[in-house]
Amino acid sequence: MPATTAAAAKLLLQMVDDYTQREISPYDMSMDAAQDFPKGFVDKLTKTGFLGIMLPQEFGGAGFGPEVTATVLNHIARGNASTAVTLEGHFKTIDQILKYGTPALQQALLPTANDRIFAFSMTEASGGSNPMGISSTATREGDHWVINGDKIMITNGGLAQVYCVLVKTAPDELSVFVVDQDMPGFSFGKREDFIGLRGTPVGEIVMDHIVVDNDHLLGKLGDGGVIGDSAHDDARILMGAVLTGIMEHELKISTDYAKERKAGNTPLTDLQVTHRKVADMAMRKETTKLLYQRAAQLKAAGQPYSEEAAMAKAHGSRAAVSAGDDALQILAGYGYSREYPVEHLIRDARAMEIAEGTVEKMRSAIAKAEFTK
């Protein structure tokens, strides 16, 4: 990293830590209970410029690279994972517009990404794992496209204003269009009642005869599968970062508690059973951190990073659930209590064994990559 970039990254992380401690952490427990961000929370995040962290400066963003961006989400997730995941959903979408959007589409959309949350939607009720099974369509009518369909389980669904949607443009052809919540025919459906990451809205959009022109096509016709895979890759790096942050939170709770408590007359910090758990947690955290940073470095260097991104998420999600389980056991009764955050950290981490591709899919992808070597 050039000296200026490193100095800017240091200042940024200092600001992020300060902001997380004062504006995000205090609401970690309450947003899990309320199943929403507090009032004004997202506005303040937006006003402070978080939405533009990785957006290039030419579009009014800050233009930080993949490594710094992932590290920011890691630090935010130490305070609250939902906030980090909402940013992850936004950033992965911007990434696809940067990779596949025409200059005209980028000029039209990206300057607004500093103030509006973007979302990427693939899943439908008919099944998320097989993209060819989707039933949303875009049909050409003269100069325009008409989009119909129903997308569910969208990260930031209902909160985001701009949606990249995966649709069929022919029976065997998947493409991505960009639609806006203000377009006629656009409406929001139900919000999911998930057990973890409960601050982040996950919801449904309904597209009923939305008319867009050809400029709203992302990439070329038939690029849908490639763009979808790419969005997954970018999301998985960031999820590795979020999971690292969750584990750092779990470790902090565990070590703070162990330093204060005794079992009988023995401090918990002198018990080998505590050592084993804390050491395992630390190793899980550190390996996940190395994996997401490695993937981010490859991405920054313009090299393939799909396999490493899958590893970061597959390894990190189980690691964070296990680390949460260890933390719960160290805190014992308090760990099992809703008054302490451990139980919701486990629920938060568990989401990432499913979202952006299940761990089973990750393993298939990693194995296939290995077979080709």
Partner 1 sequence: MSKPELWVIAERRLDHIEPTTQQLITKAKGLAGDQFSVVAILLEATNDHLENELTAYGPDEIRVVRDDRFPTATDAEHADALQQLVTAYQPNSILFGATITGRSIAPRLQAKLQTGLTADCLDLRFDDETLVATKPSYGDNIMCEIICPDHRPQMATVRPNTFVAAPTTGDATVTTATVTFHPVDRLQVKAATPVVNTATTVGDASRVVALGRGAASSATIDSATKLAEKLGGRIGVSRPLTDQDRFTHDDQIGQSGNTIHPELIINFGISGAVQYLVGMQDSQTIVAVNADENAPIFDVADYGYVGDAQAFMTALLGQFN
Partner 2 sequence: MKIVVCLKQVPETNDVTIDPVTHNLDRRGLAGVMNPFDKNAIELALNLKDSRDDVQVVLLTMGPDDYAESLREGMAMGADEGVLLSDRAFAGADTLATGYVLAQAVKKIGDADLILFGRQAVDADTGQVGPIVAEFLHQPQITYAANLRLSGANEVTAERLLEDTKQTLVAQLPAVVSVRSELNTPRYPTPRNIQLSFNKPLTTWHHDDLDLDDSRLGQAGSPTIVTKVYAPEPVKRELTPLTGTPSEAASQLITALKQRQLI
Active-site residue list: 356
Binding site partner of 12, from partner 1, partner 2, none, Cβ cut-off 5-8 A by kind: partner 2
Name the minimum Å distance from CB 37 to partner 2: 18
Q: In this structure, what token pair is assigned to residue 44?
A: 């303040």
The set of residues, in sequence order, having a beta carbon less than 8 Å from that of 5 and lying 6+ positions away, is 65, 68
> What's the min distance (Å) between Cβ of 22 and partner 1?
10
Q: How far is the CB of 20 from partner 2 (least distance, A)?
A: 11
Minimum distance, C-beta of residue 43 to partner 1, in the bound complex (Å): 18
Choice between 79 and 157, CB closer to partner 2: 79
Q: Which is nearer to partner 2, 10 or 252 (CB)?
A: 10
| Residue 48 within binding range of partner 2, rule CB under 8 A | yes
Contacts 24+ apart (CB under 8 A), 57-62: 59/106, 59/110, 59/111, 59/113, 59/114, 60/111, 60/114, 61/110, 61/113, 61/114, 62/12
Binding partner of residue 52 among partner 2, partner 1, none, CB cut-off 5 to 8 Å per kind: partner 2
DSSP 64-128: --HHHHHHHHHHHHHH-HHHHHHHHHHHHHHHHHHHH--HHHHHHHGGGGGTS-EEEE---TT-S
178 DSSP 8-state letter: E
From residue 360, give the alpha-carbon distance in Å to each of 195, 242, 311: 20, 20, 11
Q: Tell me if 337 contacts partner 2 by CB under 8 A.
A: no
Q: Does residue number 57 form part of the binding site for partner 2 (CB under 8 A)?
A: yes
Amino acid code (one letter) for 244: T
Quick note: the x/- pattern for partner 1 over 11-50, rule CB under 8 A, is --------------xx------------------------
Instruction: Please spell the DSSP secondary structure of 187-201, one letter per residue.
Output: EEEEEP--SSSTTS-
**Binding flags for partner 2, 1-40, as an x/- string (CB under 8 A):** ---x--xx-xxx-xx--xx---------------------
Find, among 271, 168, 272, the residue nearest to 223 by Cα: 168
| 3 state SS of 370 | helix
Compare residues 30 and 57 and give the one whose CB is closer to partner 2.
Answer: 57
Alpha helices in the chain (DSSP H): 3-19, 28-34, 41-47, 66-79, 81-100, 103-109, 224-260, 272-300, 306-331, 342-351, 359-371
Q: Which is nearer to partner 2, 56 or 158 (CB)?
A: 56
Partnered with residue 150 across adjacent β-strands are 206
187 binds, among partner 2, partner 1, none (CB under 5 to 8 A by kind): none
Q: How far is the CB of 65 from partner 2 (least distance, A)?
A: 11
Count of alpha carbons within 13 angstroms of residue 327, beta-carbon side: 30
Please say which residue, 28 or 308, places its beta carbon nearer to partner 1. Answer: 28
The one of partner 2, partner 1, none whose footprint includes residue 26, by CB under 5 to 8 A per kind, is partner 1
Nearest approach in angstroms of CB 26 to partner 1 is 4
* Binding residue (CB under 8 A) for partner 1 from 208, 215, 260, 270: 260
Residues that bind partner 1 (CB under 8 A): 25-26, 260
Residues that bind partner 2 (CB under 8 A): 4, 7-8, 10-12, 14-15, 18-19, 48-50, 52-53, 57, 60-64
